[in-house]
Amino acid sequence: MSHHKIKNIFIQGAIHPSFIMESIQKHSTKTDIGAHNIFLGQIRGDEKDGHQVTAINYTAYEEMALQKMTEIREDIFAKYPLTCLHVYHSLGLVPTGEICLFVFTSAAHRKEAIDACEELVERIKSELPIWGEEIFDNGTQTWKINK
Amino acid sequence: MKIKILLFGQLKEKLDAGFIEIESMEDSDLLLAKLKSEFPVLSDISFRIAVDKILIAEKVVLSEKSEVALLPPFSGG
């Protein structure tokens, strides 16, 4: 089946709202869909010691991340009756206020779309080998820790 | 025979390299001990080991073809 192939999820830099809009638009021909759920991760301008986060620089063990994502995708499709799911994650520098993660699930009904999306986001954050380094306005950097 | 070990995130920065090469060991436990003795900084940073792109939960036998990577805590999303 097509969703069992290894798909690239990485986008260089921020994920533009126009990309998200186009992605929604593409689903209008799939008339068995009754519900979409979208999660968007945005870079937060956290403050630490009087300095603000201006960007996060993402790096990944790409091959492992894509392999793991394929496994997660298969698990989610097996667990929920979804029509489709899409995942995009930034690599490289993403400025504060911009989008770095886009998770999009579609199903006939809302509950499976919402539950699948939530589970996907949790698994992406805990299982994909991706690292974010916060860049501050004074040029210092710290490695982000997922809560 | 040397084995190449991939570094990511904070470890890549601390060791200032994308990978390190050390004498190959029979299994992952021996490799970890050798790594920690050659690179003391590895005792200060928490990380997990992936062999052939899979996180290992227990000792794994290594071959010269094994792809070993040291992975600090993930922080994607």
Set of chain B residues whose Cβ sits within 8 Å of the Cβ of A59: 8-9, 12
Per the domain annotation, does B32 fall within a domain? yes
Question: Residue B37 belongs to what domain range?
Answer: 2-71
Per the domain annotation, does B35 fall within a domain? yes
Structural domain count of chain B: 1
Per the domain annotation, does B77 fall within a domain? no
Per the domain annotation, does B60 fall within a domain? yes
3-state secondary structure B28-77: HHHHHHHHHHHCHHHHCCCCEEEECCEECCCCCECCCCCCEEEECCCCCC
CB B56 within 8 A of CB B76: no
Burial grade of A6 (CB within 10 A; 0-12, 13-18, 19 or more): exposed
The tens-digit pLDDT sequence of chain B (77 residues) is 889 999 999 999 999 999 999 998 999 999 999 999 999 999 999 999 999 999 999 999 999 889 999 999 999 99
Set of chain B residues whose Cβ sits within 8 Å of the Cβ of A67: 53
CATH of the domain at B30: 3.10.20.30
Longest dimension (CA), chain A: 52
Cα–Cα distance for residue pair B43/B39, rounded to 1 Å: 8
Per the domain annotation, does B6 fall within a domain? yes
**Minimal C-alpha gap between B75 and chain A (Å):** 5
Per the domain annotation, does B42 fall within a domain? yes
Per the domain annotation, does B18 fall within a domain? yes
**Minimal C-alpha gap between B16 and chain A (Å):** 15
CB A62 within 8 A of CB A94: no
What ipTM was assigned to the predicted interfaces of this complex? 0.95
- The pLDDT tens digits for A103-133 are 999 999 999 999 999 999 999 999 999 999 9
Per the domain annotation, does B76 fall within a domain? no
* B6: its two tokens: 């991939």
* A52: its two tokens: 């603000």
Fold that domain A34-143 belongs to in CATH: Aldehyde Oxidoreductase; domain 3 (3.90.1170)
